[in-house]
């Protein structure tokens, strides 16, 4: 559908299948405490997680369990109180373009057009390239998410789903080693969400990038992931179980609905969330 | 079949006659016509009745336009007439106060030669207005030049904010004219002193509004900046500045309002040239009509400045 992922514009995306590194993203004994007016609040405790290169990992849990905190730690937006985080063998000390984030509320700059929003990211990462090459990258990223027709539009002129696509395009344009998605489709209606999930699946298949996604949608987690990390409830939340999703690609939403294994995995996640770690309604 | 078609024809005619009939009635009746022929006549009559009723109760587009026009125009005209009435009444009570008619004649005469120049003290009102505007432009321009960057720094750095807070809190409520003697003392001349007064009294809204805007830049945008690893310069030009612009424009608008308020008072005390000085001069020369004209001129120019900046602010708004 979008044949623009050629070697000229996105070299890094196309040749990363050559060597697969285990423990590409590595979280080691991480604990996180926040200092509040009421004293210290322990959000996370003893988090250990390894993500293999090219893997799609979902983090699922009830709201307030610290899943976004884990993502922000990998992004480098937060620093852990204890423990260490590594990405591609290097310690994560600060945010950087090799770990691009797709924010829940898209976080596009409203005074820039879709193209300019993406270009801002390209410009920073590929500053050594010519302007023509940079522009081509920005257009390619927007084409990848199917938004070639809306490049000159401002964020407030397009729908919520389209905004989220621009957010994804901005992240992908940086050619990140790891793509971090913070409830990317949480604010969208069910139909738009399904469409974007399919599209994300297609893009991730094509690029082969490593991805970590925070979600509270069980179907989304099973459909997209290779691995589902299920978190216990906070405070002092930790990783409860890790579920391997070995469904073959390409995955088709409609076929999976009848698939025994898919439904088994789905009920495993549901059992974890609503039986073993049910959250009392506040 | 032919009966249906005739009835439909009939129905259409009726509906066309009453142009303002609502769509729902059309749908309702057409649907009914397709379904059931025996009730046709009754429904057609009902529809005709309904549409006639709605034609009576709903005025045409032209009528709406006319009523809207009068709604918009009548209250202000009424207000102005009342104002003129009270003014006339007062001028009859107190004959020394010029009435609207004598003021009007005087204004016509005055504005027929706005740019004459006999001596330094006797020049056209155009020159006086221009010299006031020039002073405001200088004082206000300096205030913007200092105030906006200062506001940026206060908003961006907690330390700057805490550092400047006590000084700003004390200086801000000081009456503009209290600064005039200090200006005269230091500058030694009336012209710079007036500019100083405008500067010091119009700087605060720009500082404070800019600072508030900068401190309100959403954390989401700052996170984007962090993830994209933007340079401080890019953060300012692509995130802070566009976000702050509407806040800043509000500050600028308030500031120019204050500057224009202050100029009249400052020029009255200072002398030289300018609309404030002219007002005082005409009072001394017993040209009382001219005092009232000066008041209107000040008001109208203030209004125009405000409108101009509002339009400029709208142009910069991104949403």
- Strand ranges, E, within chain B: none
Neighbours of B261 (CB within 10 A): 16
Nearest to B229 among A96, A107, A110 (CB): A96
Q: Kindly state whether residues B234 and B183 are assigned to the same domain.
A: yes
Omega prior to A235 cis, within 30 of 0: yes
- Strand ranges, E, within A54-151: 56-60, 82-87, 90-91, 99-102
Q: Which tens digits make up the pLDDT trace of B172-216?
A: 888 888 888 888 888 888 888 888 999 999 999 999 999 999 988
User: What is the span of the domain harbouring residue B92?
Assistant: 61-97
Q: Kindly state whether residues B166 and B145 are assigned to the same domain.
A: yes
CATH of the domain at B289: 1.10.3720.10
Please check the confidence at residue A209 and state whether its pLDDT lies above 60: yes
Q: Which tens digits make up the pLDDT trace of B130-169?
A: 888 998 999 999 999 999 999 998 988 889 999 999 999 9
Q: Which tens digits make up the pLDDT trace of B242-290?
A: 899 889 988 998 999 889 988 888 888 877 778 888 888 888 888 888 8
Q: How many distinct structural domains can be found in chain B?
A: 2
Query: How remote is the C-alpha of A257 from its chain's centroid?
Result: 24
Which chain B residues are within 8 Å of A105, Cβ to Cβ? 220
Q: Kindly state whether residues B207 and B69 are assigned to the same domain.
A: no
Please check the confidence at residue A218 and state whether its pLDDT lies above 80: yes
Inter-chain Cβ pairs, chain A and chain B, closer than 8 A: 52
Q: Kindly state whether residues B215 and B278 are assigned to the same domain.
A: yes
- Specify the pLDDT at position B144: 92
- Specify the pLDDT at position B142: 94
Interatomic CA distance for residues B203 and B141, integer angstroms: 10
- Specify the pLDDT at position B15: 45
Which of B45, B73, B97 terminates a domain? The answer is B97
* Lookup result for tokens 């500057």: B259
- Specify the pLDDT at position B204: 93
Pick among A97, A103, A120, A174 to test the B interface (most B CBs inside 10 A): A120
- Cβ-defined contact of B229 to A77 (cutoff 8 Å): no
pTM (2 d.p.): 0.69
- Residue B195 placed within a domain: yes
Please check the confidence at residue A134 and state whether its pLDDT lies above 50: yes
Q: Are A41 and A30 in contact (CB under 8 A)?
A: no
- Specify the pLDDT at position A191: 83
Q: Kindly state whether residues B153 and B288 are assigned to the same domain.
A: yes
Confidence band for A5, pLDDT divided at 50, 70 and 90:
very low
Nearest CA distance, A125 vs chain B (angstrom): 8
Q: Kindly state whether residues B69 and B191 are assigned to the same domain.
A: no
- Specify the pLDDT at position B42: 59
Confidence band for B122, pLDDT divided at 50, 70 and 90:
low
Nearest CA distance, B205 vs chain A (angstrom): 24
Average pLDDT over residues A35-59: 87
End-to-end CA distance of chain B: 58
């Amino acid at each position: 559908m979008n044949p623009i992922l050629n070697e000229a514009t996105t070299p890094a995306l196309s040749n990363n299948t050559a060597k697969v590194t285990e423990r590409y993203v590595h979280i080691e004994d991480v604990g996180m405490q926040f200092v509040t007016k009421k004293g210290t609040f322990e959000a996370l405790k003893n988090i250990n997680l390894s993500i293999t290169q090219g893997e799609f990992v979902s983090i699922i849990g009830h709201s307030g369990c610290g899943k976004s905190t884990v993502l922000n730690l990998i992004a480098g937006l937060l620093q852990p109180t204890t423990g260490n985080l590594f990405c591609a063998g290097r310690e994560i000390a600060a945010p950087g373009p090799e770990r691009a984030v797709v924010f829940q509320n898209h976080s596009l700059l409203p005074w820039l057009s879709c193209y300019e929003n993406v270009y801002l990211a390209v410009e920073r990462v590929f500053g050594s390239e010519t302007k023509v090459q940079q522009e081509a990258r920005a257009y390619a990223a927007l084409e990848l998410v199917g938004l070639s027709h809306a490049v000159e539009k401002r964020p407030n002129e397009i729908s919520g789903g389209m905004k989220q696509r621009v957010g994804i395009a901005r992240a992908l344009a940086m050619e990140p080693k790891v793509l971090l998605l913070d409830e990317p489709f949480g604010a969208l209606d069910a139909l738009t969400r399904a469409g974007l999930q399919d599209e994300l699946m297609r893009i991730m298949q094509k690029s082969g990038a490593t991805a970590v996604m925070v979600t509270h949608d069980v179907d989304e987690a099973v459909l997209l992931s290779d691995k589902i990390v299920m978190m216990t409830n906070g405070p002092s939340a930790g990783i409860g179980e890790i579920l391997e999703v070995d469904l073959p690609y390409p995955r088709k939403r409609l076929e999976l609905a009848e698939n025994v294994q898919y439904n088994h995995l789905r009920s495993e996640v549901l059992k974890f969330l609503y039986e073993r770690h049910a959250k009392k309604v506040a | 079949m032919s009966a249906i078609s005739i009835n439909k024809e009939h129905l259409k005619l009726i509906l066309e006659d009453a142009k303002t009939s609502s769509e729902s009635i059309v749908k309702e009746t057409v649907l009914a016509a397709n379904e059931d022929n025996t009730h046709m006549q009754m429904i057609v009559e009902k529809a005709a009745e309904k549409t006639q009723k709605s034609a009576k109760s709903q005025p045409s587009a032209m009528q709406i336009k006319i009523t809207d026009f009068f709604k918009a125009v009548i209250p202000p005209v009424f207000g102005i007439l009342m104002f003129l009435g009270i003014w006339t009444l007062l001028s009859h009570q107190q004959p020394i106060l010029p009435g609207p008619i004598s003021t009007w004649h005087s204004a016509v005469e005055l504005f027929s030669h706005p740019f004459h120049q006999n001596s330094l003290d006797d020049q056209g009102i155009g020159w006086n207005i221009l010299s006031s505007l020039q002073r405001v432009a200088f004082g206000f321009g300096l205030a913007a030049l200092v105030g906006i960057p200062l506001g940026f720094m206060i908003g961006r750095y907690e330390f700057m904010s805490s550092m400047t807070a006590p000084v700003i809190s004390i200086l801000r409520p000081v009456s503009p004219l209290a600064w005039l003697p200090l200006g005269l003392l230091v500058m030694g001349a009336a012209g710079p002193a007036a500019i100083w007064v405008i500067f010091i009294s119009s700087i605060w809204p720009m500082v404070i509004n800019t600072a508030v805007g900068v401190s309100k830049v959403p954390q989401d945008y700052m996170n984007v900046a962090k993830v994209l690893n933007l340079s401080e310069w890019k953060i300012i030009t692509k995130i802070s500045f566009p976000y702050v612009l509407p806040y800043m424009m509000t500050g600028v608008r308030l500031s120019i309002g204050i500057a224009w308020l202050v100029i009249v008072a400052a020029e009255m005390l200072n002398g030289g040239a300018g609309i404030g000085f002219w007002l005082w001069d005409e009072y001394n020369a017993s040209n009382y009509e001219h005092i009232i004209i000066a008041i209107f001129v000040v008001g109208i120019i203030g209004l125009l400045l405000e409108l101009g900046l509002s339009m400029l602010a709208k142009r910069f708004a991104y949403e």
